[in-house]
Amino acid sequence: MKITSIKGMHDITEPESFAWRYAENLIKKQFEDFGFTEVRTPIVEYTQLFTRSVGEVTDIVQKEMYSFLDKNEESLSLRPEGTAPVVRALIEKNLLSHDPIQKLFYLGPMFRYERPQKGRQRQFYQYGFEVFGVAQPRQDAECVFMLVDLYEKLGLKNLSVSISSVGCPKCRPQYLEKLVKALSAQKSKLSEDSQKRLEKNPLRILDSKSPQDKEIVSKMPVMLEHLCSECEIHFEAFKNDLKTLNVNFNVNKNLVRGIDYYKRTVFEITSSSLGAQDAIGGGGRYDSLVEELGGPSTPAIGYAGGMERLIMLMDQDFEKYRPNLKYFFVTPDEKGAEKAFLLASKLRQKGVKVEIDHSGRSMKSQMKRADRLKAEKVAILGGSELEKGIVLVRDMATKQQTEVSFEDLLK
Ligand code: HAM
């Protein structure tokens, strides 16, 4: 029986992998230019880390985690997201004692047992970042600016930035009480799912996709109109800072993130070209999480985006992202092959991207491969070239051929 990959988990091969590398390089450069350094955390963590941070009654924890008992009977989970592991590492390595401001980025696979569909996998890659130690709204605006600028550099179009505030422990409980009261009065008209959510996680009703819920939600009180004065001031300043940086945004009163740790600022970047799973990425503030997980009280904000969705939005002519191949050595006979073997290796030592075919195939098949690999130049080296001490270099674009001495080639 043929063994296949697991449902919702995919191989990425060329030419798609060219686009991945291109995007990853640009993402890393962008994050580094904005002062972030890389953090790599394990793919597996204690399950408790996610139940305590992402939230006991979220879809992620209740339905989507790949959890298992290890040989020591401890409950472990494949990470469904990157924020909780980064916070754990921050506390465990006591990073804030070296510098009270920490700006960390990551890129790697995450796992959620969701129903696979376009833009939704069970193993997916996230690129994300977290800033610790800055409470000011200017930081929030800079994060959004960095992302919008990144997406522009990657050639993405039709993006929108939605922002909102989910309040803080001071104003949210009062609002929740009001919301639950108003929703309870309409309980029988809510969808079955939302009736259950009413008890466990009423905020999730606000982003329900069911038309009957949407109608009710449109008449519900909204968090944004119940912010305490500190949250209100933060949100106003955030908006002003976005305007200063000329970032277009819309305020989405019903923006609910599916994770419990958020406080104040939340935001999402969406694209109308994505279909049902339209979020390129999302993030927000989580000013209490570090303390809740046992660290010092530390404000924080972060974001994560899905790589697969990003790739879907880039130019789909993936060949465009193929790394440039400088020389392809074509060896018509064994006489030239040994010399070419040596020259190719020397060029590679110098950091030049070179390909050579050791299979002893015909010159025609070697030329075909050079063409397929989009070599800039073909270097032909057979017995007659060897006698003259030259390589015949053909420019694949202009078809011009020149004789180049071995020394000049290595220069
Ligand atoms: P999230 O909204 O759960 O946030 O995920 C962020 C992004 O990851 C989504 O917008 C989407 O692009 C991608 N994503 C999520 N699930 C899948 C999936 N099953 N298949 C493909 N892509 C997916 C977080 O994970 C937070 N940790 C973000 C954050 C960082 N907040 C603060 N700091």
The string of pLDDT tens digits covering residues 325-352 is 999 999 999 999 999 999 999 999 999 9
Instruction: Please list the residues that pair with 84 across neighbouring strands.
Output: none
Ligand 1 atom showing the smallest separation from residue 303 Cα: 30
| Residue ID of nearest Cα to ligand 1 atom 22 | 306
Give alpha helix (H) positions in 168-228. Answer: 172-184, 192-200, 211-217
CA atoms within 13 A on the CB side of 328: 23
The letter for the amino acid at 283 is G
CA–CA separation, 87 and 102 (whole Å) = 11
Provide the token pair at 152.
């522009």
| Residue ID of nearest Cα to ligand 1 atom 13 | 306
CA–CA separation, 325 and 376 (whole Å) = 6
Cβ of residue 303 lying under 6 Å from some atom of ligand 1: yes
| Residue ID of nearest Cα to ligand 1 atom 14 | 306
Cβ of residue 271 lying under 6 Å from some atom of ligand 1: no
Which pLDDT does position 26 carry in this prediction? 98
pLDDT < 50 regions, the chain: none
Stated as kind and residue range, the H or E segment containing 145 is helix 137-153
Which pLDDT does position 124 carry in this prediction? 98
Cβ of residue 130 lying under 6 Å from some atom of ligand 1: yes
Mutational pocket test of ligand 1: of 115, 126, 134, the residue with most ligand atoms within 8 Å of the beta carbon: 126
- How many angstroms does the Cα of residue 400 sit away from the middle of ligand 1? 51
Cβ of residue 213 lying under 6 Å from some atom of ligand 1: no
Cα dihedral angle (29, 30, 35, 37), rounded to 10 degrees? -50
Residue 18, classified by CB atoms within 10 Å of its CB into exposed (0-12), middle (13-18) or buried (19+), is: middle
Q: Residues of CATH 3.40.50.800 domain(s) within the chain?
A: 324-410
Helix 192-200 × helix 172-184 angle, to 10°: 140
CA–CA separation, 343 and 331 (whole Å) = 12
Cβ of residue 304 lying under 6 Å from some atom of ligand 1: yes
CA–CA separation, 208 and 254 (whole Å) = 10
Reduce the DSSP state of residue 391 to 3 states and report it: strand
Is CATH 3.40.50.800 correct for 324-410? yes
CA–CA separation, 232 and 168 (whole Å) = 10
Cβ of residue 336 lying under 6 Å from some atom of ligand 1: no
Which pLDDT does position 256 carry in this prediction? 83
Which pLDDT does position 157 carry in this prediction? 92
Q: Residues of CATH 3.30.930.10 domain(s) within the chain?
A: 16-171+227-313
Handedness of CA 357, 358, 360, 361 (dihedral sign): negative
State the CATH class of domain 16-171+227-313. alpha beta
Provide the token pair at 159.
């993006």
Which pLDDT does position 179 carry in this prediction? 94
Cβ of residue 82 lying under 6 Å from some atom of ligand 1: yes
CA–CA separation, 32 and 155 (whole Å) = 20
Residue 24, classified by CB atoms within 10 Å of its CB into exposed (0-12), middle (13-18) or buried (19+), is: middle
